[in-house]
Structure formats: C-alpha cells, structure tokens
Amino acid sequence: MAWSLFFITLLTLCSGSWAQSSLTQEASLSASVGQEVTLNCAGNDNNVGAYYVGWYQQVSGGAPKTVMLGTTRPSGIPDRFSGSHSGNKASLIISNLWPEDEADYYCSTWDKGINNYTVLQAHADRCQKSAPVPHGHRETVQGLRI
C-alpha cells in the first residue's frame, strides 16, 4: 500500500542571531498507518518552558490549521490528536495514523527573552518573517513533514 509508511523529515533550521532561541525537533521519524507517532518540540526556559506550544498542520497546497494549543484540541480536530508538555519539551501525539495525516506539522511558542515583533518560521531552505506579534514577545515556529 502506497500510504502504508510515512516519513517525517525535519525541515531546515534557521540559524543566525535567533539561533539561541530556536525550537528543535527530531531529524526523522517513520510510522505505518494505524500506528502512533509522537512529534517533539524542544526549547528553553524562555519559550517552551514558559508558554504553551501550538501545533499546526499544513496539507500540501492548503492553509495551516491549528491541531493543538497546549494540551487543548480545537473543535473539529479528531481525538486521535493529543498534546503533552513537560518542562522545556512539548509533544504532539497522533494515534491510529491515517493517510490523511500526511502534512507539514509546525510547533510554535512565544519567547519572552527577545524583544522584537517578528515571527520566525523555519520551512524548507528559507527563513520567513510573518505577521507582527505583541510588543516584548517573539514567536518561534519549527516544522516537520509527516
């Protein structure tokens, strides 16, 4: 079956002046349809350790969709999706993996240690600046392909 195996590949990390505040995820994971997969997002005391982590799913060609805010699942998201958070690490758990779960997954969080207005998003080979965030905070985003 073509969809029997999913590969999760780490999307490129951005580096430079924001590197001290980046989020990190596994380099790769694999799981079969019906299995459980855990995506981890590690940070530090200024971001993951201080705030909830949001998880976003972006199916190819579509807009990102929120699948988890901290440990709260938004309305319409299957209960196969769950979240956990301990210290400087947050996880998105997808049980009973479906072929439709193939997408880019991003974790994001605020950062209280940096005073600027940009969203740092790591995706493919580029760093993109996005919409402004409240003064005194920064949001960092890291992505995985499942």
Q: How far is CA 131 from CA 16, 90, 99, in A?
A: 20, 24, 31
Q: Residue 104 belongs to what domain range? A: 5-145
Q: CATH number of the domain that 126 lies in?
A: 2.60.40.10
pLDDT of res. 17: 38
Q: Could you give the number of structural domains in the chain?
A: 1
Instruction: Answer yes or no: are the C-beta atoms of 54 and 64 closer than 8 Å.
Output: no
pLDDT of res. 109: 80
- What CA–CA distance (Å, rounded) separates 110 from 70? 12
Instruction: Answer yes or no: are the C-beta atoms of 39 and 24 closer than 8 Å.
Output: no
Q: How many CB atoms lie within 10 A of CB 113?
A: 14
Low-confidence ranges of the chain (pLDDT < 70): 1-21, 27-29, 112-146
Q: How many CB atoms lie within 10 A of CB 33?
A: 14
Coil, strand, or helix at residue 105?
A: strand
In one letter, which amino acid is 73? R
pLDDT of res. 27: 62
